[in-house]
Amino acid sequence: MFDVEGFDSWALDYEREAAEMEAEGGYPFGGRTQVLDLVAELAHAGTGAKVLDLGCGPGILLERFAQAGCEVYGIDSSNQMLALAEKRVPAAHLALADLRDELPAEWGSGFAAIISTYAIHHIPDADKIALIRRLLGLLAPGGAFLIGDVAFADEADRLAARAEAGESWDDDEYYTVTDVLAAELPGVSFHKVTPWSGVVEVRAS
């Protein structure tokens, strides 16, 4: 598993290498474009909507939402990743922070979507659940918290993917199992994209 320094040094090569791994197919990055597309679709965020990206990296989705007229916000613990995001989306509100930190107070609330792609697996389930519970309070009515990542409907699916991946499986990462989240939070559903990835949706009522 990468630490902050790891992501800083990966930043410049991240997009190219992620695309290469995606082209190879399989766990973990096979299906990545479909996962990102589905997050963008499920966000239902149009002109003027606020969208927050947790672990925004070089700003791939920030750019997409900004182009759709959204007001975009991103946090990341890697300075180098954030520098790329800032260059790509100058209008984005960005903060160097851990996923679990409080957001800058001036960012306010009323987010149409809070998204996190291929990032939230760096924090343990208990932290993830506490984070989602807290941030659900910042969503606009009907808004969604969306996790696009290596993720599963249930433990049986996770174990099957792990067996299939063999030695390439990273046991240090905390992949979301939807059932585990659903036991703690309301409005949770899963949209499977590949046997190892998908989008977990937590919809505010």
Ligand X SMILES: C[S@@+](CC[C@H](N)C(=O)[O-])C[C@H]1O[C@@H](n2cnc3c(N)ncnc32)[C@H](O)[C@@H]1O
Residues that bind ligand X in the complex, under the rule CB under 6 A: 7, 55-57, 60, 76-78, 81, 98-99, 117-119, 122-123
> Nearest distance from residue 52's CB to ligand X, in Å?
12
From the CB of 182, what's the least distance to ligand X, in Å?
23
Q: Minimum Å distance from CB 92 to ligand X? A: 13
* DSSP β-bridge partners for residue 139: 111
Collapsing DSSP to helix, strand or coil, 194 comes out as strand
Q: By Cβ distance, which residue is nearest to ligand X? A: 57
175 vs 187: CA distance, rounded Å: 19
For residue 115, which of 75, 153, 158, 66 has the smallest C-alpha distance?
Answer: 75
Task: Write down the least CB distance from residue 176 to ligand X, Å.
Answer: 14
Calculate the alpha carbon distances from 177 to 33, 47, 65, 81 in Å.
Answer: 21, 32, 27, 27
Contact predicate 106/87, CB 8 Å? no
Residue type, 159: L
Smallest gap from residue 185 Cβ to ligand X (A) = 20
Amino acid symbol at 40: A
